[in-house]
Amino acid sequence: MLGKKDDVTFRFDTTSLVEVQDENGDYLPLCADSFTPGLAEIICRRQQSSLVQNYQQIPLINITSLNVQCDSYKNCTKYLAFGCGSGVQLNCIKRTTPCPKGLYSFTSNKCIKIPKRIFTSYEKSEKFCSNQNLSLVSFYALDIKAQINSVIKVLKKINFTPNSDTKLLTSGIRQSNLWQWKNGVIYNGTIDKSSGRCLGLYVDNLITVDCNNDTFIPICELNLAQTCVTSDGYYEGILSKSKEGLQCLKWNKPGYGISINLFPEQKFWNHNFCRNPQGNREMPWCLVGANAFQECNVPICPVSKKVNDVKNNFIGCGEDEKKCGSADQCVLKEYFCDYENDCQNGFDEIDCPNFLKEFQIIGSYKLSDDVNEIWTHIPHVQGCAHQCIEASDYRCESFSYDERKRICLLSNATTNPAVIVQNIDSRYYRRTFADFSLSYQLEELTSTVIVEKNLISTGICADSLDDSMISILCEQFGFEQPLKTINVATHLFPKDSHIWNVECLRSSSCVFPTQKISETNLSLNYINDDCHSILRCSKCSKHTNFACRLSDVCIPISSVCNDVKDCSDGSDEEGCSSPKWRLVGANQSDIGRAQVFLHNSWSDICLDELNETQTNIFCNMMGKGSRSRILPTFTQLSTTTFRIVCNKNNCWPKGISECKLGSYPWVASLKFKNGYVQHCGATVISETHLITAAHCFEEDKEISDFIIIVGDWDSEVDEGTEQEFNISRLHFYPLYE
């Protein structure tokens, strides 16, 4: 049977059985008939592991499999095998960095040393490293966070904590408007705007430092790939000519017509040294012309013996360590399930819980209000989700996570868009339900929510739910506005009926509703484990109607706060006469989005119909001065806003304002292509141009990562009016960069 020659994809199952991806994207076992020691080395290398530890054949029973033959590292052929009797169980290990005594593994090719000595200049720090045949550390362009974590782990290993005034020093130097390490790699992250020209590490952030007037502890590195090619194909020296003698071109500026998108790091490589990007070839190479590259003549590093050939001198793990499965390696217990591989075989991250499955990403926002708890030094967003789930002093319903600063903000806030502000460094997550089957419906007579789980249908206890939580539950269940809860037993739920609670619905281990309905009204302060109130939701559309909180009658949103009680319970006029006001969303106390506190939550207000005199009154009423200026902004989430009116001395809400479909056709949305996550707003200024904030591209200037959407009214609904456009060019204000 003819096979197909392509870049064959391998993977291991949980028992280390080698599997190969077929034409449909499914994985089939590799047939042992085509397995060779050479193929074993190729498979291990493609799994980012350098060495073959061991392998054995295991029986296959009535399973279709795939044979694979490779004539080089890159060129492999796969073809179906029927009735193959054996598969292959293969164990690979990463090439350990043979660091000399006193140095510690930093990356696969680097060792570092952190002395417990303080120096007062970049020059003295560099000289200290040089005297030991080392150099100041240079970072790679990608996975900056993982490299910083490696430094932190070395500090823990040597039991050393620098004092609060001392920074760790890298080789990074500011050259014009670029930050560049000594290895020619550009740092593209955000750095504070101080005048320092050197790049240091403080706690777990890269910061600017004064090269000649500060206190430093140098991070010295030994690069094992500086003079030769390692067994996994990497070279990090300064050779810049091909084996044919041609001068290599600069990676990030190779010349007209030559791509700078061959691999993710290319745009950050401000040098012309021979390299093997991502280890995809057997030898390092470089660009020598348009669509032309040549390999470089670099010697092979001496290969250390494979694990199979080395006598086992493993002496066990320490009290605060755990063994990495079958591998003779130990890591600290606290590194297990921290969502970063510390074991070379990845054992420390196997079968770790996916806390994020209970959350939905909303977009590039940061919590600005209702922050219940702050966690720092969180290396992964999973850790933030874990802290939210484990919170015991309050009900954590959302969080924002800044990956660069590793800061996690936890909140009991849910749907209210007024508590978040746009932030390109942060991602905002909202809690939902785990991935198991739930179904929801509204009981017509009372608008009571009925949830079915494990074939058991009943209501939800609302005793512990605040208004914000009730609002988010109604939205997540597919209904509209929240209603007042029912506080007594009904014909639907007689006394002692079992009823769900939110915690049970979110837990896969909870299979039966444990709470019971009490016939006692909650207002009588009857305290026991029974449930006294039931969740209710409305079908009134939030964009056009207001739901009377008790009767579930829908009235037009224009009837809210109009001095007429259109709802029999008067809920449409609650709080309208004496609301609270505030500004939010900016660093200055006198600039921000205007908001009003009504119906138990903060909401944005619409200032479109106010003139300057009226907004001056509004600012004076809040104690923010007597002069105002209205700055245009963009709606962050699909929401309605309150209109306000002002007399000579005061302002008050006057109805809810809804942005009509097509009212603002010049408003556009800038989103990430990956996941269509909201990033920034934009304004159409011509047939071919839009304007947006320059900071929206500070972290990522790659225009192919973004998409423009116009004609979108409700970001959560496809109205059929949306149009998508790619970005062809990006222009910054000349003095911005």
Which CATH number characterizes residue 204's domain? 3.10.100.10
Output the six-digit token pair for 9. 């994809």
Residue corresponding to tokens 């009735």: 83
More confident residue, 242 or 315: 242
> Does residue 579 sit within a domain?
yes
Q: Do both 507 and 567 map to the same domain?
A: no
Q: Do both 480 and 560 map to the same domain?
A: no
Does position 587 have pLDDT exceeding 50, yes or no?
no
Last residue in a domain, options 431, 447, 474: 431
> Does residue 98 sit within a domain?
no
Count CA atoms closer than 13 A to 460's CA, side-chain side. Answer: 31
Q: What percent of the chain has pLDDT over 70?
A: 78
> Does residue 320 sit within a domain?
no
What does the pLDDT average to over 4-8?
61
CA dist 330 and 315 (Å) reads 10
CA dist 699 and 234 (Å) reads 28
- In the DSSP assignment, the letter for residue 241 is B
Does position 283 have pLDDT exceeding 60, yes or no?
yes
More confident residue, 512 or 619: 512
Does position 524 have pLDDT exceeding 50, yes or no?
no
> Does residue 474 sit within a domain?
yes
Amino acid (1-letter code) at residue 45: R
- In the DSSP assignment, the letter for residue 705 is G
Output the six-digit token pair for 305. 């013996």
Q: Do both 578 and 561 map to the same domain?
A: yes
Last residue in a domain, options 403, 431, 459: 431
Output the six-digit token pair for 325. 């499965």
Q: What is the dihedral of CA 186, 191, 197, 200, to 10 degrees?
A: -90
Does position 3 have pLDDT exceeding 50, yes or no?
no
| Range from 151-155, 328-332, 680-684 that averages highest in pLDDT | 151-155
Over residues 606-646, the pLDDT tens digits come to: 655 566 666 666 676 666 655 555 444 444 344 456 566 66
582 forms beta bridges with 595
* Residue numbers of the domain that contains 393: 355-431
Q: Do both 615 and 555 map to the same domain?
A: yes
The 10 Å Cβ neighbour count of residue 437 is 8
Which CATH number characterizes residue 400's domain? 3.50.4.10
Does position 126 have pLDDT exceeding 70, yes or no?
yes
- Of 81-90, 424-433, 638-647, 690-699, give the lowest mean pLDDT range: 638-647
Does position 490 have pLDDT exceeding 50, yes or no?
yes
Nearest partner of 232 among 388, 357, 94, judged by Cα: 94
The 10 Å Cβ neighbour count of residue 469 is 21
What does the pLDDT average to over 217-233?
89
- Of 23-37, 218-232, 612-626, give the lowest mean pLDDT range: 612-626
Output the six-digit token pair for 59. 């029986």
Q: Do both 40 and 112 map to the same domain?
A: no
**How much is the pLDDT for 636?**
39
427 forms beta bridges with 401
Sequence length of the chain is 737
What does the pLDDT average to over 554-574?
84
Instruction: Dihedral sign for Cα 519, 523, 528, 534, please.
Output: positive
**How much is the pLDDT for 357?**
84
CA dist 725 and 723 (Å) reads 7
φ and ψ at 168, to 5 degrees?
A: -85, 140
**How much is the pLDDT for 663?**
56
CA dist 697 and 645 (Å) reads 38
Do the beta carbons of residue 640 and residue 557 sit within 8 Å?
Answer: yes
Nearest partner of 559 among 643, 671, 676, judged by Cα: 643
More confident residue, 35 or 395: 35
**How much is the pLDDT for 250?**
92
Which H or E run includes 207? strand 205-209
Does position 288 have pLDDT exceeding 50, yes or no?
yes
**How much is the pLDDT for 102?**
85
- In the DSSP assignment, the letter for residue 447 is T
| Range from 9-13, 328-332, 348-352 that averages highest in pLDDT | 9-13
CA dist 105 and 111 (Å) reads 4
More confident residue, 351 or 148: 148
Output the six-digit token pair for 194. 């101080």
Count CA atoms closer than 13 A to 723's CA, side-chain side. Answer: 9
Output the six-digit token pair for 227. 């003079």
What does the pLDDT average to over 315-337?
78
Do the beta carbons of residue 144 and residue 178 sit within 8 Å?
Answer: no
More confident residue, 452 or 5: 452
What does the pLDDT average to over 299-314?
53
> Does residue 19 sit within a domain?
yes
Q: Do both 129 and 216 map to the same domain?
A: yes
- In the DSSP assignment, the letter for residue 629 is -
Q: Please, what is the Cα angle at 458 between 431 and 414, to 5 degrees?
A: 20
> Does residue 555 sit within a domain?
yes
Nearest partner of 467 among 532, 525, 395, 410, judged by Cα: 395
Over residues 32-53, the pLDDT tens digits come to: 988 988 888 888 877 765 677 7
Q: Do both 210 and 114 map to the same domain?
A: yes
Does position 522 have pLDDT exceeding 50, yes or no?
no
> Does residue 698 sit within a domain?
yes
> Does residue 230 sit within a domain?
no
More confident residue, 67 or 82: 67
Q: Do both 638 and 572 map to the same domain?
A: yes
Residue corresponding to tokens 């071109």: 249
* Burial letters 224-247, b for 16+ CB under 10 A, else e: bbbeebbbbbbbbbebebbeeeee
Which CATH number characterizes residue 18's domain? 3.10.250.10
What does the pLDDT average to over 691-695?
82
Output the six-digit token pair for 202. 């403080």
> At 223, is the secondary structure helix, strand, or coil?
strand
Residue corresponding to tokens 């690979």: 92
**How much is the pLDDT for 52?**
79
> At 412, is the secondary structure helix, strand, or coil?
coil
Q: Do both 382 and 410 map to the same domain?
A: yes
CA dist 410 and 431 (Å) reads 11
**How much is the pLDDT for 129?**
93
**How much is the pLDDT for 521?**
47
More confident residue, 4 or 134: 134
CA dist 492 and 490 (Å) reads 5
- Of 121-130, 299-308, 376-385, give the lowest mean pLDDT range: 299-308
Average pLDDT along the chain: 79
- Of 272-286, 388-402, 526-540, give the lowest mean pLDDT range: 526-540
Q: What is the dihedral of CA 79, 81, 82, 87, to 10 degrees?
A: -140
Nearest partner of 334 among 345, 319, 344, judged by Cα: 319
> At 222, is the secondary structure helix, strand, or coil?
strand
The 10 Å Cβ neighbour count of residue 64 is 14
Q: How many domains does the chain have?
A: 6
Amino acid (1-letter code) at residue 433: F
Do the beta carbons of residue 684 and residue 176 sit within 8 Å?
Answer: no
The 10 Å Cβ neighbour count of residue 402 is 18
pLDDT band at 713; cut points 50, 70, 90: low
Which DSSP string do the residues of 138-161 spell out, in sequence order? ---SS-HHHHHHHHHHHHHHTT--
247 forms beta bridges with 241
Which CATH number characterizes residue 599's domain? 3.10.250
What does the pLDDT average to over 181-195?
82
The 10 Å Cβ neighbour count of residue 569 is 13
**How much is the pLDDT for 385?**
92
Q: Do both 114 and 168 map to the same domain?
A: yes
More confident residue, 626 or 99: 99
Does position 122 have pLDDT exceeding 50, yes or no?
yes
CA distances from 425 to 405, 429, 661, 700 (A): 9, 14, 31, 10
CA dist 52 and 302 (Å) reads 17
**How much is the pLDDT for 308?**
36
More confident residue, 303 or 136: 136
What does the pLDDT average to over 118-145?
90
What does the pLDDT average to over 465-487?
78
* Burial letters 360-397, b for 16+ CB under 10 A, else e: ebbbbbbbbbbbbbebeebbbbbbbbbbbeebeeebbb
What does the pLDDT average to over 487-505?
75
Q: Do both 176 and 81 map to the same domain?
A: no
Last residue in a domain, options 390, 414, 431: 431
Q: Do both 114 and 219 map to the same domain?
A: yes
Over residues 158-172, the pLDDT tens digits come to: 888 888 778 899 999
Does position 274 have pLDDT exceeding 90, yes or no?
yes
